[in-house]
Chains A and B, each alone.
Chain A
Amino acid sequence: MTRRLSLFNVTSLVLGFAFLYLPILLLMVYSFNASRLVTVWGGFSTQWYGALFRNEALMEAAWVTLRIALLSASLATILGTLAALALTRYGRFFGRTLFTGMVYAPMVMPEVITGLSLLLFFVAIGLDRGFWTITLAHTTLTMCFVTVVVQSRLMTFDRSLEEAAMDLGAPPLRTFFAVTLPLIAPSIVAGFLLAFTLSLDDLVIASFNTGPGATTLPIRIYSQVRLGLSPEVNAASTILIGIVTLGVMTATLVSKRSLLRSRRNIQ
């Protein structure tokens, strides 16, 4: 069965991808602009990158954001993997419907609601707003995404391997670490990366739950953008996009290679 691309298909692909990528490319090009006016080209320059690294407030915000993202993504990966195991390996347990609901709802719930409700909770229990409240909030949101990613892997994999290990006398915990974990590892890594990026990216939930000394990069960028366009923000964005693109490409290559290797092993 061959599928042929019509002219219409090609046109819609070209236009679609141009729409997706042109704005980002323009943003990156103008980060090398010599002019302070973001939309008027004044020659090539890297001065905004220098200015960026001398901007202490922005650097401090980047550092805070990175720490929150690493910590919350690690917690979310553990909790999300456990939740995925519970949903796929435990059959029916008490309150399963409520549990599924709590896993799916935060993913589609508008961020303003999640942000506000968590803030009111933190105020009610008397926890000071800052680094930890943002970390807890991000963990709660992103663990649901990890759950879905790991769950879809657990659904498709071959249960007979686990059963074989158990039949040979391996206790459940040992079976998990020796058989299940290596098999679902790529999806756990993917879940971690997703959680990390979501945390890095979040403006709304962080704004509600931030406190003194915990200004994240999106909050800083947002307040700068509201004052007007700034070439420094273009430079910061270009660096972020570069890091993310590199990370995604590496992850894709690694997972492709491990896929090839496991295929070879089977043959």
Chain B
Amino acid sequence: MKARSLTRRLTEGLVPALPYLWLGVLFLVPFLIVLKISLSDTAVAQPPYAPVVEWSDVAGFFGGLDLENFQLLVEDDLYLLATLSSVRIAALSTVLLLLVGFPIAYGMARAPERYRSLLVALVILPFWTSFLIRIYAWVAILKPEGLLTQGLMSLGLISEPLNILNTETAVYIGIVYAYLPFMVLPLYATLEKMDDTLLEAALDLGSTPWRSFWTITVPLAMPGIMAGSLLCFIPAVGEFVIPDLLGGSETLMIGRQLWSEFFSNRDWPLASAVAILLLIILVVPIVVYRDVEARRVESGS
């Protein structure tokens, strides 16, 4: 009897222990290693950094750390500019996503009930399609002799080819396109539950539709607006594929900078320092997002 309860307790203990251990080893530890390497020097030997941990030499481990890489990040304008422009591009994209996504989510929430699940499925479907393929599709559309230019020229709207590819505009288009489902779905989830009688009451009491939109719909949709905006803003700051394929050489973004430090310059300590910098920028939005999301899941919506 006693042995059986012991096995039972062991199996029960494994349920949290397995995923806990997995994430601890493959998420937390790697993360600490990045922190450590960002504080170490580039070594000439391969792999290109000084040893991670000399287990026998604890004092040397802490003694060898310095802020050289971070000093470089502060001194070189490039990283500051890349950081600022990543945050700017991500913030502006999030605003554009709200402007594009809100009317779609609102239309979905007002559609007859029998069509709603179909509309939701249609928003989700592109998300299942490869991200890379969806961005690739825009290269053919936006390039100078591309499909957009051809279409507008045949309509007689423009006479000169448009030069959108390899500009920041193309990056905005790409981010809005790729992240639209992440904005529309949380917005739809809150708008769908909204009580219409509130709007009717406001109209009956003489409020204009515009005013009732701002004083009723927007505040009630706030949880969706927050979740959608964070869900788009956070990954957009660290985006690599979109600025690389659609943006020009002058489109500075921090994720792209990390990639080139790592793959082109092979400076792993500096790449790690850039990763830490990126994380410092994102730590507040990530924590806020985690709270918003945990509350949303626990409220069962």
A49 at the interface (CB under 8 A from B): no
Shortest Cβ gap from B14 to chain A (Å)? 8
* Residue from B11, B110, B147, B240 in contact with A9 in the complex, judged by beta carbons closer than 8 Å: B110
A166 at the interface (CB under 8 A from B): no
CA distance A83 to B272 in the complex (A): 29
The digit string for B83-125, where 1 denotes a CB below 8 A from any CB of A, is 0000000000000000010011011111110000001011111
B33 at the interface (CB under 8 A from A): yes
A54 at the interface (CB under 8 A from B): no
A104 with B293: CB separation less than 8 A: yes
Main SS at interface, chain B = helix
A203-257: which residues lie under 8 A (CB-CB) from chain B? 203-204, 207-208, 218, 221-222, 225-226, 229, 233, 237, 240-241, 244-245, 247-248, 252
Q: Which of B18-26, B63-71, B73-81, B215-223 contacts A (4 or more CB under 8 A)?
A: B18-26
* Number of interface residues, chain B, beta carbon within 8 A: 94
Contacts A120-B268, A148-B297 given; indicate if A86 touches B20 (C-beta within 8 A): yes
**Residues of B with C-beta under 8 A to A203:** 131-132, 241
A127-185: which residues lie under 8 A (CB-CB) from chain B? 136-137, 139-140, 143, 147-148, 151-152, 155-156, 171-173
CA distance A10 to B123 in the complex (A): 15
A244 with B128: CB separation less than 8 A: yes
B240 with A140: CB separation less than 8 A: no
B19 with A106: CB separation less than 8 A: no
A266 at the interface (CB under 8 A from B): no
B60 at the interface (CB under 8 A from A): no
**Residues of B with C-beta under 8 A to A51:** none
Q: Residue among A20, A171, A207, A248 with the most chain B CB within 10 A?
A: A20
A124 with B119: CB separation less than 8 A: no
Could you show 9 A-B contacts with beta carbons less than 8 Å apart?
A3-B110, A9-B111, A17-B104, A23-B138, A26-B147, A99-B23, A201-B130, A221-B136, A241-B130
A66 at the interface (CB under 8 A from B): no
The digit string for A72-106, where 1 denotes a CB below 8 A from any CB of B, is 00000001101101100110010100011111111
* Residue from B129, B180, B184, B237 in contact with A244 in the complex, judged by beta carbons closer than 8 Å: B129
Shortest Cβ gap from B285 to chain A (Å)? 8
B278 at the interface (CB under 8 A from A): yes
A: which residues have CB within 8 A of B?
1, 3-6, 8-10, 12-13, 16-17, 19-21, 23-24, 26-27, 30, 38-40, 79-80, 82-83, 85-86, 89-90, 93, 95, 99-106, 108-113, 116-118, 120-121, 123-124, 136-137, 139-140, 143, 147-148, 151-152, 155-156, 171-173, 197, 200-201, 203-204, 207-208, 218, 221-222, 225-226, 229, 233, 237, 240-241, 244-245, 247-248, 252
CA distance A226 to B121 in the complex (A): 32
B150 at the interface (CB under 8 A from A): yes
A117 with B275: CB separation less than 8 A: yes
Given A105-B286, A203-B131: 10 more A-B contacts, CB < 8 Å: A13-B111, A20-B180, A80-B19, A83-B19, A103-B23, A104-B294, A118-B30, A121-B30, A151-B297, A247-B128
B241 with A38: CB separation less than 8 A: no
Contacts A120-B30, A120-B272, A136-B26 given; indicate if A39 touches B145 (C-beta within 8 A): yes
B29 with A121: CB separation less than 8 A: yes
